[in-house]
A and B are shown apart, each in its own frame.
Chain A
Amino acid sequence: DVVLTQSPLSLPVTLGQPASISCSSSQSLVYSDGSTHLHWFQQRPGQSPRRLIYKVSNWDSGVPDRFSGSGSGTDFTLKISRVEAEDVGVYYCMQGTHWPHTFGQGTKLEI
């Protein structure tokens, strides 16, 4: 199975400051059609996960542009340009290229 390794696992941040989460894959996530099925999710306390970024760098509807995704092949990053209080929660990367799809361990962002 593809292993996704996130770092850090805990991310204390100051309001208004930037934050960055890395996701490293044990295999290339490039699909046969050339696309890369690496996505980012946010799970606020007590809520279902919500997709923020799909296929590395595309924003989902309603996602603030302070969130951005980048990377290629096996190394990916989620960045928050200026952290706000509503960003508290756990962030997961997920690969949908290989079955079984897998998630990273999660990064807990706290103010």
Chain B
Amino acid sequence: EVQLVESGGGLVQPGGSLRLSCAASRFTFSYYHMGWVRQAPGKGLEWVAVIGPDGSAKYYVDSVKGRFTISRDNAENSLFLQMNSLRAEDTAVYYCERDGGSADYWGQGTLVTVSS
């Protein structure tokens, strides 16, 4: 069965940076779009970013453009989200998902808390 395991979350001060990772296994990673979806505490789901199979196509929700960067390493079957200039409203569980537009598999999520 497909596995997606996120890491890298934690507590960070406003204005700080964090890099999330997602280790993928049990499928051909380089064939798929991948993405990040977040969920603020007690709230609904919000798409953050999607990246194409070869990393050339990237899409971001407006609220993170210029601050977050999605990337991938197909040789290492890994997805990343570099988050800079973090704000309190970025506090959420961040999920890694497979397939971009259809999210057929999800990881367990990693919690990012932005607070002083």
Q: How far is the CB of A57 from chain B (nearest CB, A)?
A: 14
B47 with A51: CB separation less than 8 A: no
B-contact 0/1 string along A73-111, CB 8 Å cutoff: 000000000000000000010101101111111100000
B-contact 0/1 string along A25-49, CB 8 Å cutoff: 0000000000001010101000011
Q: How far is the CB of A104 from chain B (nearest CB, A)?
A: 8
How long is the Cα–Cα vector from A60 to B106 in the complex, in angstroms?
A: 13
Q: A48-B107, A101-B50 are in contact. Are A96 and B44 (CB under 8 A)?
A: no
Q: How far is the CB of B11 from chain A (nearest CB, A)?
A: 21
Q: A37-B101, A49-B95, A92-B44 are in contact. Are A99 and B106 (CB under 8 A)?
A: no
A51 with B102: CB separation less than 8 A: yes
- CB closest chain-B residue, reference A49: B106
Interface size class, chain A: 20 to 34
A99 with B50: CB separation less than 8 A: yes
The total of Cβ contacts below 8 Å across the A-B interface reads: 54
A48 with B106: CB separation less than 8 A: yes
How long is the Cα–Cα vector from A54 to B99 in the complex, in angstroms?
A: 12
B44 with A101: CB separation less than 8 A: no
A105 / chain B contacts, CB cutoff of 8 Å:
44
B47 / chain A contacts, CB cutoff of 8 Å:
100-103
A48 with B109: CB separation less than 8 A: yes
Task: Give the interface centre of B59, B103, B108 by most chain A CB atoms within 10 Å.
Answer: B103
Q: Which residues in B have some Cβ–Cβ distance to A below 8 Å? A: 37, 44-47, 50, 59, 61-62, 95, 100-109
Q: Which residues in A have some Cβ–Cβ distance to B below 8 Å? A: 37, 39, 41, 43, 48-51, 54-55, 60, 92, 94, 96-97, 99-106
